[in-house]
Chain A
Amino acid sequence: MLNRILNIAWKDFLHLWHNKILLVIVLLGGATELTLVGMATGAPIDDVRTVIYDADGSQISREMIARFEADETFAVTVADEPLPDDLNEIFTGALFGDDYIVAIDIPEGFGEELRAGRRPEVTIHLNAISALAATTARRKAEEILFYYGAEVAWPDVSRDELEAFEPQITVRYNEELDRAQYTTPSEAGFMLYVIAIGVAAFMLAREREFGSFEQLLVMPHHPMEILIGKAIPAVVLGYANFLLMLGVIHFIFGVPIRGSLPLLLVLALFYVLVELGVGFLLALVSRTQHQAVLLVMLVAFVDVAFSGYAAPVESMPPAMQTISLAFPIRHFLIILRGVLQKGVGLEILWPHVLALAALGLLINGAALLLFRRSLASER
């Protein structure tokens, strides 16, 4: 029996071997995407294009501009002319021109009034064509203006004293608030799953499309053997991807592995087996590879939506939060982050492992049922 299963699996490996492009993509795709995502998100938001018009021209206002220039968040241009009344002129984009994200207007008499403690007014215009950049720039500008203003207006209050007035903030698990530490585990959980269901779905759908599935069925194989044989390449490729990606996460992006690595490896394998059922289900509903790829994409995106891949589930409407519990990837991402960043183990993660087990039974059971049914109809 084992022999027959391995034969079926071997056939699919051969198919991959003959398709070198496919093999390379499936094997390295996950780690490559992960690296790209990590690099894109890990970079801090800096050099935001900023134009400052200084109507005051005093030493104080020039010193303030110097503070903006010294800050990495801003790439400052000092304007010679007042900002235009119609800010579209400087805010809409040309490829080789300058479209600014931040425009700061310093009024006449700014320095004098600030020194006298009369609260001069500064106007900041934000081009929120990118909300993330606008928000980041606004926070940073507020900070610079507050501390520089306090320095000039209240010379007897030191910066330490000002800072002591703020509550103490301790950030846990990802102390630097590094975005890559968030996105790379997400991407790993996601790619592991996409590769596994993709391989399972495309291979099975290919056989159905070309009619070789029928040939497989008339062979003296038990249906379970066929299913397991088809599952092996998907599991192997998915898991190989995961190991590669784990290496990239840890060694390139510096995400710590604070919990038990063996536990994580076991749970990841378990997770691939759960998601495999999804791949089979998709392959069994679709009649062609074309349908399978569209379905895989659609299902993958629904999963992204509910998994907490990009935004915390707690911020979603309550109904979506409840629905999200039905998605295996949601539980796996909690497990993955829990083991990597929080260093917790089964004592805390057990509800999610149980949930994975229940979902796995349900999904794989449905796949088996559908497989039997399509078997009966095709025979």
Chain B
Amino acid sequence: MRTHASNIIRHTFAIARKEIWHIIRDPISLFLVGFGPVIMLIIISYAFAVEVRDVPTLVLDLDRTEASRELIERLDATEVLDVIGTADDMSGVERAMDARMARVAVVIDRGLEAMFPAPSGDLLGMVAQLAALAQVGDRGLPVSYIVDGTEPISAETAIETAIKETNAFLVERARALLDMLPSSMQNLPEVQRAREQLETPIALEVITHYNPEEKTLWDLVPAMIAIVLTMPAMSVATVIAKERDQGTLEFLVATPAARLAILTGKMLPYVLIGVFNVLLMYLAAVGVFGLPFRGNLLLYVALMALYEFACLAIGLFFSIVIPNQEAALWVSLMFFLFPGFFLSGMFFPIVAMPLEMRMEAMSFPVSGGVFISRSLFLQGVGLDVVWWAVGILIYVGAIMLALSVLFFKKRIA
């Protein structure tokens, strides 16, 4: 019995050594499998987590006053909006929006400056006017925005910024006028009331945990690490399928090496490549993207290796049950890569959703990896929190490996 076990281990390493030679002899594949994931991580993170900024903004200023200029400067000073020029009339705005030169247009109608009372003259009347600033009634503000909605996420951010800045502009200007009143008037109830209405009714304190600036990058990068780690799994699927296409696999089975030894031997090098990739990507996440890593690095690498093993076992299974290389390729592409993107949060925040929705997502192997990666990166938790995902990965990996061994035997026989 003992010799049997040691035989399996010996064969496993022999096969692994052969597989490593195989990978090294093909430098293009070696490069793509070894460095492809980290390259993809960097590219995708840059592409999808671009914080919304410098949205090209066109101005149509019909007021042409100090107030309107002040508002425009204020908008331009924000990170989100970037004033690229002025239009002479509405048709100029239309053309710029159609041609995608501008994605936001600010239209300032006549009457913005006139909303604010002149500082001199009837002081109490001015206070009344300021207090009523919030009650402009049907006329509305003489400021309006036209937003290109084709890219909804950036449009929402642009809208939020536009509303916040416009309100802040009005409030600050009104407050400055109130400050100019003589000190004898400051305690008048009318003045206090006017001041009160310039504040929000509730003082809101928002504390954002784990990712204080609400950067998409921070939840995207850890998720992407798990997603791109499926690349080696797809490689395994193609490698095995290819050997079957070419008939070299039968030759292998005919040798005394146990089937289990063959399969684990084939997987081993890819697990190692996966660990190498995890370390590279960890460096990229921390070094290039400035993410915090709050968990235990050793535990992280170990769990990601386990995750890689589960993915490889699934890839193996596909390559054994699906009769040809091309089909195995497409199936693993559809099974690994694409579902992964839904979990990454770049489309949709599945982590925030109710249980039923999460359960569905959790049935894909990528979800466990995404969950573990994110929890360790951002929340710094350990096994006490992620144990259930670890359990699923072990279970899936073992079942898939067992099924692969089983089907492998049947097909050959």
Contact with A along B205-228 (1 / 0, CB 8 A): 111111110111011000000000
Bound-state Cα–Cα, A348 to B388, Å:
55
Interface residues of A in 75-128 (CB under 8 A from B): 75, 87-88, 91-96, 101, 114, 117, 119-128
Contact A149 B209 (CB under 8 A): no
Contact with A along B107-137 (1 / 0, CB 8 A): 0000000000000000000000000011111
Q: Pick the contact of A117 from B155, B201, B333, B379 — CB < 8 Å? A: B201
- Known A-B contacts A94-B385, A174-B149, A344-B98; the reply to A124 vs B205 at CB < 8 A is yes
Main secondary structure of the interface of B (DSSP, over half): helix
B141 at interface by CB-CB < 8 Å:
yes
Contact B210 A166 (CB under 8 A): no
Chain B positions near chain A (C-beta within 8 angstroms): 26, 28-29, 32-33, 36, 39-40, 43-44, 46-56, 97-100, 103, 133-141, 143-156, 159-160, 162-163, 166-167, 170, 196-197, 199-212, 214-216, 218-219, 231, 234-235, 238-239, 242, 322, 324-327, 329-331, 333-334, 337-338, 341-342, 345-355, 358, 362, 371, 374-375, 378-379, 381, 385, 388-389
- Known A-B contacts A310-B47, A342-B98; the reply to A294 vs B211 at CB < 8 A is no
For the complex of A and B, 6 pairs with smallest distance between CB atoms: A149-B201, A305-B47, A133-B352, A174-B149, A128-B211, A133-B349
Contact with B along A165-207 (1 / 0, CB 8 A): 1111111111111110111000000000000000000100010
Bound-state Cα–Cα, A132 to B342, Å:
13
Bound-state Cα–Cα, A29 to B329, Å:
13
Bound-state Cα–Cα, A121 to B338, Å:
44
- Known A-B contacts A25-B330, A152-B201, A167-B162; the reply to A135 vs B234 at CB < 8 A is no
Most B CB contacts (10 A, CB to CB) among A88, A167, A174, A301 go to A167
Contact A119 B385 (CB under 8 A): no
Contact B28 A286 (CB under 8 A): yes
Minimal beta-carbon separation of B167 from chain A (angstroms): 7
Minimal beta-carbon separation of B196 from chain A (angstroms): 6
Query: B48 — nearest CB in chain A belongs to which residue?
Result: A310
Minimal beta-carbon separation of B193 from chain A (angstroms): 9
- Known A-B contacts A130-B349, A139-B160, A166-B141; the reply to A177 vs B40 at CB < 8 A is no
Interface residues of A in 122-164 (CB under 8 A from B): 122-139, 141-142, 145-146, 149-150, 152-154, 157, 161-162, 164
Q: Pick the contact of B351 from A117, A133, A150 — CB < 8 Å? A: A133
Query: B371 — nearest CB in chain A belongs to which residue?
Result: A93
Minimal beta-carbon separation of A254 from chain B (angstroms): 14
Minimal beta-carbon separation of B108 from chain A (angstroms): 10
Contact B235 A290 (CB under 8 A): yes
- Known A-B contacts A49-B354, A202-B326; the reply to A174 vs B152 at CB < 8 A is yes
Contact B29 A294 (CB under 8 A): yes
Bound-state Cα–Cα, A337 to B167, Å:
33
- Known A-B contacts A161-B137, A173-B150, A294-B29; the reply to A314 vs B51 at CB < 8 A is no
Contact A93 B385 (CB under 8 A): yes
Total A-B residue pairs with C-beta atoms closer than 8 Å?
A: 349
Minimal beta-carbon separation of A317 from chain B (angstroms): 9
Contact A315 B52 (CB under 8 A): yes
Bound-state Cα–Cα, A135 to B215, Å:
9
Minimal beta-carbon separation of B373 from chain A (angstroms): 11
Bound-state Cα–Cα, A342 to B156, Å:
19
Query: A310 — nearest CB in chain B belongs to which residue?
Result: B48
Which of these binds chain B: A32-40, A216-224, A232-240?
Answer: A32-40
Chain A positions near chain B (C-beta within 8 angstroms): 19, 21-22, 25-26, 29, 33, 36-37, 40-41, 43, 45, 47-49, 75, 87-88, 91-96, 101, 114, 117, 119-139, 141-142, 145-146, 149-150, 152-154, 157, 161-162, 164-179, 181-183, 202, 206, 286-291, 293-295, 297-298, 301-302, 304-306, 308-312, 314-316, 320, 334, 337-338, 341-342, 344, 348
- Known A-B contacts A19-B324, A348-B98; the reply to A142 vs B219 at CB < 8 A is no
Q: Which residues of B contact A341 (CB under 8 A)?
A: 150
Q: Which residues of A contact B204 (CB under 8 A)?
A: 121-122, 124, 141-142, 145
Q: Name 30 interchain pairs, CB-CB below 8 A, sorted by A.
A: A19-B324, A33-B338, A45-B352, A75-B354, A92-B379, A94-B388, A101-B352, A119-B201, A123-B207, A128-B210, A129-B219, A130-B350, A131-B216, A133-B351, A135-B214, A137-B352, A164-B137, A165-B133, A167-B141, A170-B147, A171-B149, A172-B147, A174-B150, A177-B155, A289-B242, A297-B333, A297-B337, A306-B47, A310-B48, A314-B56
Q: Which residues of B contact A93 (CB under 8 A)?
A: 351, 371, 375, 385
Bound-state Cα–Cα, A122 to B32, Å:
52
Query: A134 — nearest CB in chain B belongs to which residue?
Result: B214
Contact A168 B144 (CB under 8 A): yes
Contact B145 A177 (CB under 8 A): no
Bound-state Cα–Cα, A138 to B352, Å:
13
Query: A185 — nearest CB in chain B belongs to which residue?
Result: B150
